[in-house]
Amino acid sequence: MRSRMLSHPLVLLCVTSLVALSGVTACGDDDSGGSGGSGGTGGSGGQQSGGSSGAAATGGTNTSGGSQSGGSGGSTAGSGGSAGQSGSGGTGGSGAGRGYYSTDRSEFFGAPRCADLEVDLCDDFEAASLDTNTWTARGTVTLDNTLAARGSQSAHFHAEGNGFAYISETKTFPATNNSFWGRMFFYIDALPVTPDYAHFTLIEGTGTGDTSRVRVGGQYRKFGVGSDGGPTGDWTNIDKDPTQQSAKEVPEKEWVCIEWQYDGSKDETHFFWDGVEHPSLATYPAVPHGGNSGAQYLLPDFNEVWVGWWMYQGGSTPDHFDVWIDEVAIDGERIGCSL
């Protein structure tokens, strides 16, 4: 593993109340389970993407008016577990530098690139063990050579049921102007099939001032963004790009490049999939979201970000989840998928 740090600054979602045809849902939360958001209009949107089991979440029930409400979030994850198929990166990327944002997947994979990338943090997970000077792990997290987007290793996250496994860092914070970009490669063996409203988080940013948990993840097998714990309540905007009907599901058994921007100076977030922004998953303070309609969506003063996996519904099919993440990079400027 090579972990590169210079000096700067990085973010989850949860149980459901689908606003029919709006692409917006609310869901449960963290260790204790978040409180549900009240209604709200449809949010702005964007496009797709072990151990012993945690405590079971309560099941979702159907409500009148065609909406659904889910159960509360689960608790801790357990130990051990493995899975996955063998794999490795392809051929090397382009020779372009910063400011070049490719959408050509043939340029994304190959050899590790953190050593030459001048950013605040970049970890290719090629070392013998996780860099504990940078990351704090929770749940079952290992470095293995089962799969890799670049090089020969990646970080493997295993969780049972409504459990979690993730790594968090604080070294890049505070971020200049409370704004930062993140980039990572993500691979999941299998998405939840049941319950159909199952909600998960891949990235979460938290901080001071505002108690909102700022999340990138998904629900209904599509990418989504949202929040919990703050004034807007518990909600998730579901991907609607290019349209609500044609938005793709998160790919299984395939590496995906995810980019995100959390701009606390403007209280905006943005989401990119394989180099392409999904506008339906952008958020702004005054644009309607899926939570409490009277509250603006404001961002905290970020001091921590985590990447990994957190599932909020128990009794799911499958009953365990394996996720691999590679080449996590954080910086004050956009990084792109080819660097």
Q: Is 194 exposed, middle or buried (0-12, 13-18, 19+ CB in 10 A)?
A: exposed
User: How far is the first Cα of the chain from the last one, in angstroms, to the nearest whole number?
Assistant: 17
Burial class (CB in 10 A: 0-12, 13-18, 19+), 240: buried
Q: Which residues of 254-291 are buried (b: 16+ CB within 10 A; e: fewer)?
A: ebbbbbbbbbbeebbbbbbbbbbbbebbbbbeeebbbb
φ/ψ of 177, rounded to 5, equals 60, 20
Q: What is the pLDDT along the chain (339 residues), one digit of tens a residue?
A: 445 544 433 333 333 333 333 444 445 444 433 333 333 333 333 333 333 333 333 333 333 333 333 333 333 333 333 333 434 434 444 456 788 999 999 999 999 999 999 999 999 999 999 999 999 999 999 999 999 999 999 999 999 999 999 999 999 999 999 999 999 999 999 999 999 999 999 999 999 999 999 999 999 999 999 999 999 999 999 999 999 999 999 999 999 999 999 999 999 999 999 999 999 999 999 888 888 988 999 999 999 999 999 999 999 999 999 999 999 999 999 999 999
Structural domains in the chain plus CATH codes: 3-331 (2.60.120.200)
